Structure 1
Amino acid sequence: MMTICSVPNGFKKWTRRIFASVISAGCLVGAVSACAQQTVVSEPNASVYVLDLWKIYEQEGFDSLEKQVNATYFITALQGIVNRDESRLFLDAAVNLIGVELDSFHIKGRDKQADFESMDRRWLAWLQQSGLLGQRPVVEIESVKDLLSVFADEVNGLALWDMETPSSVNLALTAAGCEDLLPLSADLDDGFLQQRIAASGISLPVVQNFTGYASKAAKQGITGKELIYRTMLDLYLKSGKASPYHLWYNLDAFTWNPPVVSYGGNKHLGNRNILQHNGLYNGDYWISQRGLFVDLYPLDDAAPNDDLRQVPGTDLRLWNDLLEESYRQRDGAFGVMGGFAPWWVKYTDAVGNAHPPIDAEQAFIRLATSYNLWNDADAAFGLSNASFYRHLPLPKPSEFTNPAVEKPELKKDTIYVCLFMLDHDGSAWLNQIAHTIYDRPGRGTVPLNWAINPLLSDRVPHVFRYLLENRTEQDFFRIGDDGAGYVDPYYLVGSNRTGRIKEDGYEAYCQAAKPYLDRLNMDLMAFYISDQEFTEEILAPIAALTPAGMGLNRTATLKEVAGVPVKFAQAYHHRDKAMFTSEMARLFERAGSGLIYPEFYAYRLILFRPSMVADVVTELRKQHPAANIEFLDAHTFMSLKQEGDKLPLTSPWMHKKRLEARAGEGPSGLEPVRAGDGAFAVVKDGDASVWRLAPSAKSPRYFYVTVDDAFSKENELADDLQVRIALSCDAPVTVGLQYNSMWPAGDFPNPYKAHPKKTRQSPGEAQEIVFKLDRPYFKNSQNAMADFRVIISGQGTVDIESMILEHDAE
């Protein structure tokens, strides 16, 4: 059975080229942006075949990493082929790596060995119990011979690749999807897998031979990697054999050159950790979709560490060649790029390139968005069986509802808090989070807002059903996560695009995004992410998609766009739990200090278990029973925020000429705030208290400060404001300042205007440093919604005794 719906013109043209029998009004399952819901149901008595990957490896002598890698490429390719039209072959391969990381860090102590379990067996048991597999019998496959005996007739032969040109594995995997071939390397495992195939008595002919490309390329004066991707472009993409809608950022076989690197420190998991973290299980879905397997450096400033002989910029040119052709075949309609820049193995300063990991991530997302490709950001942690899961039914849109909540009356002396649980912008993460985070104690105590990228419903629809069926009255959904698919909205603007396409992508994005949002009944976006400042011009074209509200990963002066409330969401990773606890303590203390207008705070809690939130809030409520603080579902939060934004700003400090703050004293209109890169403690130093920045090998360190909003409004662009900081240190440091300002030309805010003054501070008594400000424009636009930050370069202890913001008497 197949649900029929309309599809974009570009997709229709592609399917007509390949499948003459496709009904022009129909929907080919898996077409990105093509239909709001798609379901394929297997024959009611057709067997589900299950292969325990690691059991087979142990029994049949796959006892080295090289043997296991070669076999995993081969088996997952077979899985993608036979699962293309229905769910037939299921692998028991992946373990709960996110759970292992959390348990190792928080329960057993940092970097300790945590227990693990099979994610796949757990999901298979639930699928059977829930009835999603009907009465289909489950048949265990006990050997490679059994596997080939069942499925060999459904493949056309082999695609050979070699370690001489590690990127050749991506060409072989692309061939697997386009020609129903199985990838095989003779030199990676010294022919072991070939021997196992021969022993099965099943003959698989060589259909494509992608070995020896390094030698062929040398004759042309290029590298083997370049020749591989030129071949991919011509043989599979330009020919129409590959889907222009599906690309997978697949870490190629360079990974298996010693020393083998794997993300995470789970050494007790051995090769299980290495294969899963490096994405060996993920390929089945992309093969089922006839996708392109690509691994290229997204910058052009140097030769990448996996191809040092190439002319710098070659990888990026190849990216552009592939993406431009993909865009052309889609007629600009949106497609999907799965995976992520493999920062732990390639292209970053972790392995000898010049850039930190965030640069590779941002360059990749810029490039993908610039060609109308959103991202299913698997990154590390791995996902098996997506080709199996994709055929399972998604809950109906009407099932995505939230518990009824009575909107509270807006109170001027109250702090309102919204907690977004994420990151759920990659199918691999969501598939694990359901059991390793969502299932854990703590839900039902505090409203938790589960933000999920709706694109993930293509690969892991079963997870959405599981979440809904096991929710409490304090679990809220209908919330997206960094777009309908992960995009950077700034690069939907044609003139901002980094590739060769310079036409706007807004219309294509909205056309593609609305069906995905509608299928999950989503009308609110937890946050959009960008490496550039958000402006009304950037957000206005997409605001109507989520009329209930939009969160942002960067601070912005915007309060609403096209009538849609907008809010910055401060991020905390689970490893920052102590900082989050301190931030919550700050809010509870502030909420008991007699606020004169409501305050709104939103937080992105990345890989937080519910108890990590509930325990903190419960304890702080005991400590501060009179605190006026309310934790809200996201929809109520955004609605109240929009109401609160319309209140006139008033405060005891709005008409003051001078604000002065000292550690341990009450509200003053100046308040230090903690951020991910700005930690401090309030400590007693004799009779007085100080804000102490502990010694750190990291330099610089930051001390963030927020200014009363009413005072800020009264003093916008004042020409005589100055900041005075009194501090002492036990080792030499240099002190600077950055603050919210307006650029000298135009009216665009600059969150981090650097004061030109740098003061060298020597150990001894506290000294006062004065910074005169130029066009201050305090809009809470630094990290932690701060207005300025003190910059400390040096590693000693620093004590800040007081800070003053005043009009210069001169």
Structure 2
Amino acid sequence: MIMIRKAVIAATLLTSIFHVNAQTKQPRIGMLDMNYTVHFDLRYKDSIKIAWDHTHAMATLQGIVNRKYPQLYIFLVENEGINIDRYWWNKYRQRDKWLSGRDTVLYPDIVSVIAAYQKNIRGAVVYDPAVAATSNIASSIAGLEDLVAIRYDTSPGSLYSQVVINGPRLPVRVWLVNKNGTSLFTGRGTVPGTQRPSTGSVKNDAYRWFITNYLAKGRCNTAYGAYYIDQAWMTHPGIAARNHHTLSNHDFFVSRKGFFFDLSPWSDEQATDDPQQKAGTDLETMKEILLIAYKQNKGKKYAYLGGFPPWAYKYTQHAKGSHEDVATEWEYSKVISAYNAFKDADAINYGALANASFWQHFPLKKKYPQPWITADSLRARGYLTAEGKVNVNKRNFIIFYVGDYDASSWVSQTTPTIWDSPGRGKVPLMWCISPVLAERIPMALDYRRETATANDYFAAADNGAGYLMPGMLQAPRPLSGLPDGVQAWAAHNKPYYQRWGLSITGFIIDGHAPGLNTKGINAYETFSPNGIIPQKSPLTLLHNNMPVLRAGDDVNEDDPREAAKHILQRVRQREGAVPFHWFRNILKDPSWYVKVMKELQALDSSIELLDAPAFFELYRIYLKENPIAAAGKVQ
């Protein structure tokens, strides 16, 4: 108790003395090293509780404190022995960089941080450890009412005891559990605080309470939502990497006053974390949330949803469900697409992201242009004849979709391990990164453009400025029955493509959705005129002047020789049909591509890796020369 009071007094002094630099007028940056939450001991429940409680409280506090100015920073996420948050901090702490002139305050523990920033918050929202869904609801309310999310736990040493009962004594403004610790949501009778009958599921009752009292009343910013695992993570924390509770990801969506949820997308079975519910109850709740968001966004603004199905923990065969992992990913994508929402796909393995509420204030340039290739350049490189014909001459041209970079967390974590590889720049690579990631990791996109070589070219990842299934935007729309959303999708994409100099969509995941119809392809032509790569399209097609090539194989063998053999086999299968070939790779080091091409050249020297502008421009010219291929009649 004495130590807690000392920490509070010290933090109060730090608040009054250090929060504003008198000369620069900039708020000083508070900092906390939270690495201890990543290295907890799985044998002890108390360690798991500390990892969860501290990260959750800090993420909600950051979201509030960093809403208008970047003031609070943590060190937490690790990848391959690198602390990712220190990597980014050190990069922009250098002389003449964004953070070079900022003063900092390093706090000793989370209690002192909460005390230091107590004036920025109104108190706490306390949630129920027995009803997992209330942790996500607490994150929603935290952003809407400027409250720190705290799990109810009166045991000595718990965070609740340290900051609610003792220490800063945060006033509890919203209770998601009865004050005596019993559950507010019981799955019986009427949903508390509403006129709605219980769903029979405590999980869904909790979400429907939130829908009635907050979402439906227009109290959320429905342009932002977050799909992250709830506190059920605490029962199986060792299934995936230590920081895959993804609580640190909450801060950005708290700052934007968004909504949080963790619901199954499947209609044909009970959610695996709530087997007593009627099959499809989770999906009905999700659809209700998404429909409200659609209506409040007036069908014009697309909802930005962070996160990804927690497939290792819920809703798949891993959790005794009936569906596979990718099928669950695609089903979720299909559902959200039907309601004009897309995901920034923080998927397991690289799913953790911290400090996005801080980095959202990074100053980007107005434009990041990329030049397109000219016919004279292609002719000088020997790809066009003097007459302007494609000089195929028994060649096969290939392009690599360098992915998967449709998630802020994945781009942030892999920049030091993949982008900074000494092998980058030795062969031409088409880096496919979603431009919408500039919302949460603008510094990473800026850094990659600043350090790109002549062999690094950028295209959009699936499926443009956000991951959805565009076929679900086309009327008549399955699941939702809403009006056509294709033009709204084009309007959403255009400013992102223009700012980042993009003209290629490197991959379109059609998944469980219909393929693009004429209206859908027309829409892509307005912002991606130099090419698209769908899953469900003819093998070759020239749509007006936009080249379309159906997606090829995923090539992800670790052994470069095996990867080269795979590419050669696929090229030879299509020999005589079309001399242009696309291959997708996931999180491969640039040195791997160098080795693959060396092996491939030894197997067949007629196969040539092109840079993206050369590949797509040659392919366009080739289609104009071959009317059958241009008409989509080549199989």
| TM-score computed with the length of structure 2 as normaliser | 0.85
> Which runs of 5 or more residues in structure 2 are unaligned?
1-22, 191-197, 385-389
Q: Higher helix proportion, which one?
A: 2
Q: 1:514 matched to which residue of 2?
A: 494
Instruction: Please say if residues 471 and 516 of structure 2, whose CA atoms lie closer than 8 Å, have aligned partners that are also in contact.
Output: no
User: 1:204 Cα deviation (Å)?
Assistant: 0.4
Provide the residue aligned with 1:207 in structure 2: 173
Query: How far is 1:301 from its partner?
Result: 1.1
Q: Provide the C-alpha distance between the structure 2 equivalents of 1:436 and 1:390, rounded to a whole number of angstroms.
A: 23
Q: 1:303 aligns with which of 265, 270, 278?
A: 270
Equivalent of 2:213 in 227, 235, 243: 235
For 1:466, the aligned partner's letter is: Y
Larger Rg: 1
Equivalent position to 2:239, from 244, 257, 262: 262
CA distance in 1, matches of 2:91, 2:155: 36
Letter in 2 for 1:244: T
Q: Which residue of 2 aligns with 1:484?
A: 465
SS at match of 2:533: strand
The one of 348, 360, 372 equivalent to 1:390 is 360
Any idea what SS the aligned residue of 1:569 has? Answer: coil
Structure 1: runs of 5 or more not aligned: 1-41, 101-115, 264-272, 651-708, 714-748, 750-777, 781-810
Distance 1:402 1:353 in 2: 48
- Residue 636 in structure 1 maps to residue 618 in structure 2: no
Q: How many residue pairs were aligned? A: 580
The Cα shift of 1:466 comes to 1.0
Name which of 62, 67, 70 aligns with 1:84. Answer: 67
Kindly provide the amino acid, as one letter, of the partner of residue 145 in structure 2.
E
Q: Deviations over 1:326-361 (max 9, x none)?
A: 111110121211111111111111111111112211
What is the letter of the counterpart of residue 533 of structure 2? G
In structure 2, the residue matched to 1:95 is 78
**Correspondence 1:53 to 2:18:** no
Q: Could you say if the C-alpha distance between residues 528 and 403 of structure 1 is closer, same or farther in structure 2, counting changes exceeding 3 Å?
A: same
**Whole-angstrom distance in 2 between the partners of 1:616 and 1:551:** 22
Q: Which residue of 1 aligns with 2:443?
A: 462
**Contact 1:159 / 1:182 at 8 angstroms: preserved in 2?**
yes
Q: CA shift at 1:387, angstroms?
A: 0.5
Aligned match of 1:66: 49
Q: SS of the residue aligned with 2:117? A: helix
Amino acid at match of 1:337: L
Matching residue within 246, 251, 259 for 1:292: 259
The AA in structure 2 aligned to 1:319 is: M
CA–CA distance in 2 between the matches of 1:55 and 1:210? 28
The alpha carbon displacement at 1:575 in A equals 4.6
Secondary structure of 1:420's aligned partner = strand
Q: Deviation per CA, 1:401-460: give whole Å up to 9, x if none.
A: 579992231223211111121111110011112111111122222110111111101110
The verdict on how the C-alpha distance between 1:557 and 1:570 changes in structure 2, with shifts beyond 3 A counting, is: closer
- 1:364 aligned residue: 332
- Cα 1:247–1:479 shift into 2, 3 Å: closer
User: How far did 1:55 drift?
Assistant: 4.8
Distance 1:58 1:525 in 2: 39
The 1-side partners of 2:468 and 2:115 are apart by: 43
> Contact 1:285–1:387 (CA<8 Å) still a contact in 2?
yes
1:208 and 1:58 mapped to 2: Cα distance? 31
Change (3 A) 1:507 1:596: closer
In structure 2, how many angstroms separate the alpha carbons of the residues matched to 1:428 and 1:188? 34
1:543 counterpart = 2:495: no
In structure 2, which of residues 503, 506, 517 is the aligned counterpart of residue 526 of structure 1? 506
User: Which aligned pairs between 1:12-23 and structure 2 lie closer than 5 A?
Assistant: none
* RCO comparison, higher one (Cα < 8 Å, 6+): 2
* Alpha carbons 1:400, 1:468 under 8 Å: kept: no
Partner residue of 1:322? 289
- C-alpha distance in structure 1 between counterparts of 2:617 and 2:146, whole Å: 52
Of stretches 319-328 and 185-194 in structure 1, the one that deviates more from structure 2 is 185-194
Please state how far the C-alpha of 1:613 moved relative to its aligned partner. 0.6
* Structure 2 partner of 1:471: 452
The aligned residue for residue 122 of structure 1 is 87
Bigger shift: residues 353-362 or 364-373: 353-362
Give the counterpart of 2:314 among 346, 359, 363: 346
Show the counterpart of 1:617.
597
Measure, in 1, the Cα distance between the counterparts of 2:238 and 2:588.
27
C-alpha distance 143-58 of structure 1, shift in aligned 2 (>3 A): farther
2:158 aligned residue: 192
Identity percentage over the alignment?
27
Bigger fraction of residues in strand: 1
What SS does the corresponding residue of 2:454 show, helix, strand or coil? coil
Aligned match of 2:58: 75
Any idea what SS the aligned residue of 2:343 has? Answer: strand
Give the Cα separation in 2 of the matches to 1:630 and 1:73.
Answer: 50
State TM-score, norm by structure 1.
Answer: 0.67
Do the aligned partners of 1:544 and 1:564 also contact (CA within 8 Å) in 2? no
- CA distance in 2 between counterparts of 1:300 and 1:481 reads 25
For residues 294-333 of structure 1, give each alpha carbon's deviation from its aligned partner in whole angstroms, at most 9, with x where no partner exists.
Answer: 0111111111111111111211111111111111111012
